[in-house]
Structure 1
Amino acid sequence: MKKANILLTTLLYAFLTSCIVVDTLGLTDTYKGDVAKRKLIDAAMIGDSLTARAAFTAQKPFNFLELLQTLIHLLLT
């Protein structure tokens, strides 16, 4: 049982050490918290901008002449 505990502890230590070394050297595609937060905010702003642009382009553009005609029609009737 003691040998199993030593083996398990050694494997766990080796696993943790390799993860720390890989993260420290930057060999993974992970970001620190503030960088990840900034990337998420930027992506959300881009998505919001694209959604708003699509919504506003789908709408008919404002036509001042139509507004005047409608007002005149309402005033005369």
Structure 2
Amino acid sequence: MSQNPLPLYRDPWAKREAFRKSPIFSNRVMFRNLFPGFGIAVVAFTAYVAVDNFVLSKQEGAHGHGASHH
């Protein structure tokens, strides 16, 4: 008996359907790639809000302007 590294497909359509079991088509990978760049955008927006609040609060404190300034 020879050692064949490829699986033996008795069903003629099984070979054509084998790609569905590939890890690249798993639900986790498909969901992760649903919104590309979303994680980077969340980090960038969080950093922007934090810097904006920090800088804005420092500038308001230095100039003496309060929240009721019109």
TM-score (norm 1): 0.39
Q: Which has the larger radius of gyration?
A: 1
TM-score (norm 2): 0.41
Q: Which has the higher helix share?
A: 1
